[in-house]
Amino acid sequence: MIPPGSDPHQMSPTTIRRSAPEHSIAAVIPLYNGARWIEQTINSVLSQTLSPDEFIIVDDGSTDSGPAIVERFAKDHPLTLLRKPNGGQSSARNFGIAHSKSALIALLDHDDIWYPNHLEVLVRPFKEDRAIPIGWVYSNVDEIDADGKLMNRGLLDFNPAKHPKRCLLDCLSHDMLVLPSASLISREAFERVGGFDERLSGYEDDDLFVRLLRSGYANVYVRESLSQFRISPDSSSHSGRMAISRMVYFEKIRQLFPTDQHHNVNYIRDVLAPRFSLWALLECIRFVHVKDRNALAAACNDLATVARHLRLGRRVQLMTFSVLGRSPRLAAALITANTVFRRLQMLYDPRRRAARGARRPAAH
């Protein structure tokens, strides 16, 4: 059953109230073909200075030896392995959470790592008396590569996104960079907003945390890095699912946030379309470089879908490229000449666009 007012496409893990200690924690790991990293990830949970009350790993239809590694750990440690057909990270997380009962949910991707004090630090704000209930607490992260070598200390410090999350415009202007592996989430809040949207295999985290913010929950940011976030060629951000999910999320928030008459902000034209057209453009560039004609055509389609919501000048530029760019040779020539991209990147500034829109009558 999905709570009244929730998106019917969201799959709520459960609405049944369970009896659990107030600050009990369930650690949930979605696993899909993560044999290379899952042992180190499990050890980071077992090494916590504050142990989770539940430890659940969901095998989301893996075809490698990852589940066997988990089974080996489960013989000697309080760890539960659940299995389901492959449905993506959102459905795996929902499934694991539905089979837990703790008051707080600690998510961890199968290739990320918690520092030993991760849970101990994140649970502290939940124990404080607050007038507004906390939906989630999250921290900074250190970026590592596929081999676990440090790339960036305090990754969130280098990004324009603001922390903690207080303003809807900020959340829609940029990727939120609230990483599930760096978060501790209230079960009550999670269930109230309907859990992860299972249509999304990318941007599902932005979608969840925007809904939590809009539902009135507070959030707390810990600037200290409490986990390691791994970026590798196998990361979900590099998968075909990510591009599809990005467009699903764009359409979802486009319908939710058209125009704010009171603040004179056209969210679609001044905030969402600039943000997502840039991502589509970068996808086009990437597929030109790897010479993937089919993926380039799909990225050009996405670019055209988003670009039609932009202001006239940008719209003409990007719509033109979305047609010419289907030819890898023409696209490469345009990129080399910078006839479109340099001007777009110099002018791309969601905050300035939003401010400009606030000074003008909103478009309908």
**Beta-strand runs (E) in 239-357:** 259-260, 265-266
DSSP code for 109: -
Q: Which of 236, 271, 291 is the last residue of a domain?
A: 236
Tell whether 137 and 221 lie within a shared domain. yes
- What does the pLDDT average to over 298-315? 95
Are 180 and 276 part of one and the same domain? no
Q: What is the pLDDT of residues 162-184, one digit of tens each?
A: 999 999 999 999 999 999 999 99
Indicate if 119 and 214 belong to the same structural domain. yes
> Does 263 or 351 have the greater pLDDT score?
263
Amino acid 342: pLDDT: 55
For residue 6, is it within any domain?
no
Strands 104-107 and 25-31: parallel
In a domain, 189, yes or no: yes
| Domain limits for position 261 | 257-358
User: Checking DSSP bridges between strand 259-260 and strand 54-60, what pairing results, if any?
Assistant: unpaired
Say yes or no: 261 and 131 in one domain. no
Residue 196 and residue 50 share a domain: yes
Q: How many domains does the chain have?
A: 2
Is 60 exceeded by the pLDDT of residue 65?
Answer: yes
174 shares a domain with 92: yes
pLDDT at 336 over 60: yes
Asked if 283 and 188 sit in the same domain, the reply is no
Q: How far apart are CA 310 and CA 344, in angstroms?
A: 12
Within a domain: residue 14? no
Q: Is the pLDDT of residue 114 over 70?
A: yes
Lowest mean pLDDT, pick from 77-81, 262-266, 333-337, 360-364: 360-364
Q: Let me know whether 167 and 131 are in one domain.
A: yes
- What is the distance between the alpha carbons of residues 140 and 181, in angstroms, rounded to a whole number? 10
Instruction: Judge whether residue 348 has pLDDT over 60.
Output: no
- Is residue 113 domain-shared with residue 166, that is, in the same domain? yes
3-state secondary structure of 27: strand
Q: What is the CATH number of the domain that holds 138?
A: 3.90.550.10
Residues 143, 63 share a domain:
yes
The reported pLDDT for the residue numbered 19 is 61
In the structure, what pLDDT confidence band is assigned to residue 8 with cuts at 50, 70 and 90? Answer: very low
pLDDT exceeds 90 at position 268: yes
Residue 118 lies in a domain: yes
Please identify, among 177, 203, 236, the residue that sits at the C-terminal boundary of a domain.
236
d(CA 103, CA 80): 18
Structure-token match 């299995």, residue found: 83
Q: Are residues 60 and 122 in the same domain?
A: yes
pTM for the whole structure: 0.84
Distant-in-sequence, close-in-space partners of 10: CB < 8 Å, separation ≥ 6 = 2, 193, 194, 195, 196, 197, 198
The answer to whether residue 242 is domain-embedded is no
H-helix or E-strand spanning residue 84: strand 80-84
The answer on 274 and 200 residing in a single domain is no
| Residue 12 pLDDT level (bands cut at 50, 70, 90) | very low
Domain edge (last residue) among 236, 268, 294:
236
Quick: pLDDT tens for 66-112: 999 999 999 999 999 999 999 999 999 999 999 999 999 999 999 99
Residue 295 in this model has a pLDDT that exceeds 60: yes
